[in-house]
Amino acid sequence: MKAVIQRVSQGRVTVDESIVAEIGLGLMILLGVAPEDTLATVSQTVEKIAHLRIFEDEENKMNRSVLDARGGAIVVSQFTLYADSSRGRRPSFIGAAKPDIAEPLVAAFAEQLSALGVPTQTGVFGAHMQVALVNDGPVTIVLEY
């Protein structure tokens, strides 16, 4: 599982000119699923992200989690995180899980993050989405499990 986590002051996902997810302060999480990922991988990744101390405290130090900051999250499935461009000019995506594996794991990820207390929204799996955000900091973290 790969995740690109961006601390945002606002974020939005649009599909066919309709807003499907929108937050203020929080995290935009681009999530890639590998064929070998399981619910255990999901739980480990969710736990890490929910408690990452990447929000500033009163002393302007990154010392607070999204839970501490009372922020929200948008989870966007993104198989392109598994792009392999080592050969040629057209990336290969064979390292990404097929939709029948990835979709339930992305849904489980969002459900588990929400269950931990982070208000969580999602993009639309498999849809062409427009993702807009204001990266706060900028803070961008890449995780891989």
80 annotated active-site:
yes
Identity of the amino acid at 49: I
Peptide bond before 119: cis, by omega within 30 degrees of 0? Answer: no
Which of 14, 78, 120, 121 is catalytic? The answer is 78
Question: DSSP per residue over 42-89, as a string?
Answer: HHHHHHHHHH---EE-TTS-EEE-HHHHT-EEEEEE-GGGG-B-SSSS
Residues near 101 by beta carbon (within 8 Å), at least 6 away in sequence:
33, 35, 37
125 annotated active-site:
no
79 annotated active-site:
yes
Which of 14, 45, 55, 79 is catalytic? The answer is 79
- What positions carry a catalytic annotation? 78-80
